[in-house]
Amino acid sequence: EADIYQTPRYLVIGTGKKITLECSQTMGHDKMYWYQQDPGMELHLIHYSYGVNSTEKGDLSSESTVSRIRTEHFPLTLESARPSHTSQYLCASSDRKAFFGQGTRLTVV
Amino acid sequence: QQPVQSPQAVILREGEDAVINCSSSKALYSVHWYRQKHGEAPVFLMILLKGGEQKGHDKISASFNEKKQQSSLYLTASQLSYSGTYFCGTDGSGNTPLVFGKGTRLSVIA
């Protein structure tokens, strides 16, 4: 069973607020990913990491940032949320096959 | 670069078979297949690592033709529980990230 956790599960915030989406895994995986997915749509890669102090941007232009100070923790931060950021954010970790967290459904009003 | 999946959607009756295809213009190191049910996270089905490799998972199997940079997912005698969106994911050698196709929405009806 996958041990990857995302918090919060749901979040409604106002425009301009700074938010951090948390993602933690207990499997010791070096590879971690953030994907953005609108309901029923494709998975867009927004950030990834291959280990501590390694972060890269994905194909989807994003106004978010990530950090990887510890192997198990890969938080995503939006400095100033906008309605266009409304979406579901999925975190995953991989040792070949990827395990996904349950996602954070973000609504910016 | 994002792999290309086809078809975009398919509707089956219980017991029918289906094939979902995935191709890439880049050299592939591995191909992953995942299924996502409505309101849930994607769940790993299988990974194929070698050219010509085939794998099976219950009545779901897949092939990977490394030379053609293509993979196919075969669903045999489909069940209602097979409904969902199927994604193929690909990564290259080294530190290239896992990226997914746009998905194939599969609906199995009684």
Residue B53's pLDDT is 66
pLDDT digits (tens, 9 = 90+) for A18-43: 999 999 999 999 999 999 999 889 99
Which of B:61-90 have CB within 8 Å of A? Answer: 85, 87, 89
Mean pLDDT across A78-89: 95
Q: Is some CB atom of chain A closer than 8 A to the CB atom of B98?
A: yes
pLDDT digits (tens, 9 = 90+) for B19-34: 999 998 887 788 999 9
Task: Give the confidence band of A99 by pLDDT, cuts at 50, 70, 90.
Answer: very high
pLDDT digits (tens, 9 = 90+) for B40-89: 999 999 999 866 666 677 789 999 888 888 999 999 999 999 999 999 99
For B6, the token pair is: 């086809």
**Degrees (nearest 5) of the Cα angle A7, B82, B76?**
145
d(CA B59, CA B100): 23
Q: How many CB atoms lie within 10 A of CB A50?
A: 16
In chain B, whose CA is at the least distance from the CA of A102?
B41
Q: CA of B82 to nearest chain A CA: how many angstroms apart?
A: 16
d(CA A83, CA A45): 19
Nearest of B90, B77, B78 to residue B31 by alpha carbon = B90
* Strand B60-65 versus strand A44-51 pairing type: unpaired
Inter-chain touch B97–A40, beta carbons under 8 Å: no
Residues of A whose CB is below 8 A from B105: 40
Residues of B whose CB is below 8 A from A58: 97, 99
CA distances from B8 to A25, B30, B103 (A): 32, 22, 7
Q: CA of B41 to nearest chain A CA: how many angstroms apart?
A: 5
pLDDT exceeds 90 at position A7? yes
Residue B91's pLDDT is 83
Burial status of residue A84 (CB atoms within 10 A of its CB: 0-12, 13-18, 19 or more): exposed
